[in-house]
């Protein structure tokens, strides 16, 4: 079976599954009305009342006619596919009621849990929680690639203020940093001045257009370097550099740790829901467990 055939077969199965789920009983299409049907497939009929639900109001007569034709053709095709499946599937594979019930139950439970989490989950993760989790699980935060904490400014090649910007970037005082930020906000082609931001070297290469090998080489041997690229002039200051397999810094893992903590809270909420449901059910005598007698 080639790829195209497999895709077509799986696509048809998906259509069948959707139709069975949406229309668990075919009684809606049986000929139980004096109304003239729009279409028939074997002993199944399609009436106007089913068609109306698929045609939005407020559209032109031409669009309405086209949508109606598409709806009818799709209905016919799906009914034919279902009949073909019924004729060719073994009996034991045609009874899908149990699977539908299981899917329905899983979906309802999932939607309820998501709504509960939305209403009750505390999404505020404090800095001390992040730090505590990080310290307790440092061994799990080994770097998978080299990273660097860096700031950079991209200037037009004709810019006459390179010396001034170079000085501001090298200086550590607040006044120089403020001047640099103010200048870059209006004059730089591109810049990143957040000294707490960590980059993967490939991410920095993609963001700046600087060759990744050049970034790796310069970051290893110099904390301050300049590059004349085709599209501009870069001034780069690397504040820290860490190698693959080193322990990742907390700042680099904040988002990851926050997601882990929130997911743990979510699981705890769901576990508490299960306990509460069992407790309430027992108090209200909403369930019984029968023990089979030994023969």
Q: Is residue 194 part of a domain?
A: yes
Q: Domain tally for the chain?
A: 3
Distance from C-alpha of 168 to C-alpha of 190, rounded to nearest angstrom: 16
- Per-residue pLDDT of 99-115, as tens digits, reads 899 999 999 999 999 99
d(CA 7, CA 26) in angstroms, rounded, equals 27
Q: Please report, rounded to a whole number, the percentage of residues in the chain having pLDDT higher than 70.
A: 87
pLDDT score of 169 more than 90: yes
The answer on 114 and 103 residing in a single domain is: yes
Quote the pLDDT of residue 6: 38
Identify whether the C-beta of residue 149 lies closer than 8 Å to the C-beta of residue 227.
no
Total residue count of the chain as it appears in this document: 295
Are residues 134 and 199 both part of a single domain? Answer: no
pTM given for the model: 0.66
Looking at the structure, do residues 97 and 34 belong to the same domain, yes or no? no
What are the Cα distances from residue 6, in Å, to 15, 83, 94? 14, 20, 21
Question: Does 279 reside within a domain?
Answer: no
In terms of residue numbers, what domain contains 118?
Answer: 91-142+249-270
pLDDT category of residue 33 using cuts at 50, 70 and 90: low
């Amino acid at each position: 079976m080639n790829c195209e055939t497999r895709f077509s077969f799986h696509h048809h199965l998906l259509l069948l599954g959707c139709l069975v789920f949406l229309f668990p009983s075919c009684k809606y299409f049986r000929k139980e009305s004096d109304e003239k049907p729009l279409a028939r497939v074997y002993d199944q009929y399609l009436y106007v009342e089913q068609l109306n639900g698929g045609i939005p109001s407020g559209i032109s007569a031409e669009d309405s006619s086209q949508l109606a034709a598409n709806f009818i053709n799709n209905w016919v095709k799906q009914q034919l596919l279902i009949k073909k499946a019924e004729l060719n599937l073994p009996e034991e594979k045609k009874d899908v009621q149990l699977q539908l019930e299981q899917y329905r139950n899983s979906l309802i439970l999932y939607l309820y849990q998501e709504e509960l989490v939305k209403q009750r989950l505390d999404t505020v993760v404090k800095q001390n929680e992040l730090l505590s989790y990080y310290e307790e699980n440092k061994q799990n935060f080994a770097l998978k690639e080299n990273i660097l904490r860096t700031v950079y400014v991209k200037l037009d090649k004709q810019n006459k203020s390179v010396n001034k910007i170079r000085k501001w970037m090298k200086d550590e005082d607040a006044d120089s940093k403020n001047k640099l930020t103010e200048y870059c906000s209006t004059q730089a082609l591109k810049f990143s001045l957040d000294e707490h931001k960590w980059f993967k070297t490939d991410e920095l290469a993609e963001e700046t257009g600087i060759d990744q090998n050049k970034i790796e080489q310069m970051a290893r041997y110099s904390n301050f370097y300049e590059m004349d690229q085709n599209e501009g002039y870069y001034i780069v200051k690397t504040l820290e550099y860490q190698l693959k397999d080193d322990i990742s810094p907390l700042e680099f893992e904040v988002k990851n740790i926050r997601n882990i903590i929130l997911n743990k809270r979510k699981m705890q909420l769901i576990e508490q829901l299960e306990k509460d449901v069992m407790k309430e059910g027992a108090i209200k005598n909403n369930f019984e467990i029968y023990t089979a007698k030994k023969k």
